[in-house]
Structure 1
Amino acid sequence: MEDSTLTHVRGYEEDPAGLWAHLASLYADSGVGAAVRLLREFAAVKYRGGVDDMAKVMGRIRSIADELEQNHEDRPSDNQIIAIMLNSVSGNPDFKDPITTLENSKEPLTINDVEIALIRRARNIKDDGNASSGGVTGIDDGHLASAMMTTRTIIRCSNCQHIGHLIQDCFREGGGKEGQYPQWYLDLRKKKDEEETAMAATAVKSYAF
Structure 2
Amino acid sequence: MWARLKEMYQSSSLGGVVVTWRQFYALRKPDDASTMRTHIAAVRGLAEKLGRLYNDKPSDAQIIATLLMSLPSAYDTLIISLDSHPERDNLEFVIGRLLAEEHRQEAEINGVIPYGQSLGPTNAMTARVRRDRSQITCFKCRKVGHFQNECPEPGPLVENPFRSTPEAATPPVIAATAITHATNSYTF
Query: TM-score, normalized by length of structure 2?
Result: 0.51
Q: For residues 126 and 107 of structure 1, what CA distance do their matches in structure 2 show?
A: 25
Runs of 4+ in 1 over 4 A off after TM superposition: none
1:59 to 8, 20, 41: 41
**Match for residue 99 of structure 1?**
79
Q: Is the 8 A contact 1:69 1:75 kept in 2?
A: yes
Query: TM-score, normalized by length of structure 1?
Result: 0.46
Larger radius of gyration: 2
Give the secondary structure class of the aligned counterpart of 2:53: helix
Greater relative CO, 1 or 2 (CA 8 Å, sep 6+): 1
CA gap of 1:116–1:33, structure 2 versus 1, over 3 A, is same
CA gap of 1:108–1:129, structure 2 versus 1, over 3 A, is closer
1:138 to 110, 114, 117: 114
Residues 99-141 of structure 1, C-alpha deviation per residue, up to 9 Å, x if partnerless? 011122234521111111112111211221112xxxx4438xx
1:71 to 53, 64, 73: 53
**Match for residue 42 of structure 1?**
24
Q: Which of the two has greater helix per residue?
A: 1
Where structure 1 has 5 or more consecutive residues not aligned to the other structure, the ranges are 1-28, 140-209
* Count of residue pairs brought into register by the alignment: 105
Q: For residues 122 and 38 of structure 1, what CA distance do their matches in structure 2 show?
A: 27
Q: For residues 74 and 88 of structure 1, what CA distance do their matches in structure 2 show?
A: 21
Q: For residues 52 and 80 of structure 2, what CA distance do their matches in structure 1 show?
A: 33
Where structure 2 has 5 or more consecutive residues not aligned to the other structure, the ranges are 1-10, 116-188
CA gap of 1:58–1:30, structure 2 versus 1, over 3 A, is closer
RMSD over aligned CA atoms reads: 1.8
Q: For residues 104 and 54 of structure 1, what CA distance do their matches in structure 2 show?
A: 22
Q: Is the 8 A contact 1:85 1:114 kept in 2?
A: no
1:125 to 96, 99, 105: 105
Q: For residues 32 and 78 of structure 1, what CA distance do their matches in structure 2 show?
A: 23
Q: For residues 51 and 116 of structure 1, what CA distance do their matches in structure 2 show?
A: 20
